[in-house]
Amino acid sequence: MGEDKKLYLGLDVSTKTIGISLFEETGKLVLLTHVTPKIKLDDLSPMEILIKKVEVFESEFLEKYADSNIIKVIIEEPLLQSNNVNTVATLLRFNGMICRSVYETLNVVPEFISSYDARKYAFPELMSIRATDKEGKILSEKELKKKTPVLFGGYPKNVDKKLVIWEKVADREPQIVWLYDKHQNLKKENFDMTDSYAATLGFMRKNGLWN
């Protein structure tokens, strides 16, 4: 990979798997992958486990691409929907540790985008007026006129949103070989990868840098 070629890195960070996408500044996808740190517990404290997971991410990805002229890093903001305070705290802590690792290894200050904006701007066709109310009743024309487009508005409320994003990315990138389990079901790692893709594409489109 030529050092003169500027690259943009997208990350979807969770404590289990880090989705990774790497693009040329033209918007051409260079790499779509993930790191899933496997840590032997050995009576480690929760903080030690997080530190070792960061170390795995550094050795398996960051250090390998430290000289690849990555000039921009986009991270999807963590979703803080859990009622478990410890889960939220752990996710925020790990996200901060990854940010510092990115800065120290690549000398790039990460930028952030929410999951909502990532999907909205990456795939604007997902914005649509929902034609039914909470009970599933079809809205009248008068009622529809008062509504504004929402993300996944054209889909059933119980739609698997991560699967929809995967489908969008798969359509854009037919060359990608996806990961399947022994039952030929998509592995969860695919969704971390496509979330990182949407974060990068959404951020760049939101800021008017890509079409």
Q: What is the pLDDT, as a whole number, of residue 2?
A: 47
pLDDT of residue 189: 98
pTM across the whole model = 0.92
Let me know: does 44 contact 21? Beta carbons within 8 Å: no
How much is the pLDDT for 146? 80
pLDDT per residue rounded down to tens, the chain (211 residues): 545 799 999 999 999 999 999 999 999 999 999 999 999 888 899 999 999 999 999 999 999 999 999 999 999 998 776 667 888 899 999 999 999 999 999 999 999 999 999 999 999 999 998 887 777 778 888 877 788 899 999 998 889 999 999 999 999 999 999 999 999 999 999 999 999 999 999 999 999 999 8
Residue 166 exposed, middle or buried by CB count within 10 Å (0-12, 13-18, 19+): buried
Q: What is the pLDDT of residue 80?
A: 74
SS (H, E, C) 85-127: HHHHHHHHHHHHHHHHHHHHHHCCCCEEECHHHHHHHHCHHHE
Task: Quote the pLDDT of residue 95.
Answer: 96
Query: What is the C-alpha to C-alpha distance for residues 169 and 194, in angstroms, rounded to an integer?
Result: 6
- Dihedrals φ, ψ of 87, to 5°? -65, -45
Tokens of 78: 């963590």
The helix-helix angle for 161-172 and 189-206 (nearest 10°) equals 70
Buried b (16+ CB within 10 A) or exposed e, 79-102: eeeeeeeeeeebbeebbebbbebb
> In angstroms, rounded to a whole number, what is the distance separating the alpha carbons of residues 205 and 211?
6
Tell me what pLDDT residue 82 has: 62
